[in-house]
Amino acid sequence: MRIGLIGDLEGETSAAVRCLQVLGERGDVEVAYQLGDLRFGMGADPEGYLAAIDSACDAYGLTLVCVPGNHEHWARLDAMWADPRSRSDDGSLLPLALAEHVSMVPRGHRWELGGRTFLALGSAPSVNRHLLTEGVDWWPSEALLDEHVDAAIAGGHAEVMLTHDSPGSPYCVPEVEGILRGNVRHNPMGWPAASLAYADEGMTRLTRAVVGVQPLLLAHGHFHVAGEDRVRLPGAAHDTTVWSLAARHDPGTVRVLDLDTLTDPATGP
């Protein structure tokens, strides 16, 4: 079985439709996972954007499952998950049906597919928090909390882990490592120290979760760069393959994961 993985779409309809078209035209993918910053509920026409995605899914026979990023309308997500119908009997959050073919999974959601165990742990702190307005394009609940990490670790090992943020050094891909190193040494974007610290706090939490879960494969978005590496997590008896996906129309925004081999059939082991 093969599944699709899609990086940050950032509310761009043309990018979303094109990514779904790429997967749909393959003919061997029925489920795709989008790794955050769909920008659900945001933009000038959020309903039209979602309708276009749903229509593309219908046209290509796809189901799209979204992992929440930091750039989502978290107030809307929180309200939807506050509905008792969005909670299981034990109080845990259930996936939200955003449209007929599109859903959003909560932080810590687990499932099985194609003989593999999965864990989704979305969200991240916005490093551009200082440029955003609370209640308009930023909400505090974007951030990954210790309680989310603790619950993920308590659930045990998962073979495939899908996140929005990346684990930190030395467990990130070289392309992400370069961005992190550049922010510390040169800070080319001029991020305030408080914003960098806010982002680092979220990455530290995500790293703790990854080390605790010890997946065989981790795929994430957030940094808008394509990359791949193999790392050995502390205490692990196996290597972990890490994929960073690009964004929008950029090469490396779409990948395919073969669940038998946990490789991309386009690149091999």
Q: Would residue 253 count as lying in a domain?
A: yes
Q: Would residue 114 count as lying in a domain?
A: yes
How far apart are alpha carbons 266 and 144 in whole angstroms? 33
How far apart are alpha carbons 106 and 65 in whole angstroms? 11
Reported pTM: 0.97
Q: Would residue 21 count as lying in a domain?
A: yes
**Average pLDDT of each block of 10 consecutive residues along the chain (269 residues)?**
98 98 97 98 97 98 98 98 95 96 98 98 97 97 97 98 98 97 88 94 98 98 98 97 98 98 87
How far apart are alpha carbons 107 and 116 in whole angstroms? 19
pLDDT at 96: 98
Q: Would residue 263 count as lying in a domain?
A: no
Cis status of the peptide bond prior to 170, with omega within 30 of 0: yes
CATH of the domain at 227: 3.60.21.10
pLDDT at 28: 96
pLDDT at 269: 66
The region that residue 39 occupies, defined by phi over 0 for left and psi between -120 and 50 for alpha, beta otherwise, is left
pLDDT at 31: 98
Which residue range(s) make up the domain with 109?
Answer: 2-258
Strand 240-244 and strand 227-231: pairing?
antiparallel
Q: Would residue 265 count as lying in a domain?
A: no
Structural domain total, the chain: 1
Q: Would residue 182 count as lying in a domain?
A: yes
pLDDT at 139: 98
Q: Residues 195, 196, 199, 200: what is their CA dihedral angle, to the nearest 10 degrees?
A: -150
Q: Would residue 264 count as lying in a domain?
A: no
Q: Would residue 269 count as lying in a domain?
A: no
pLDDT at 185: 85
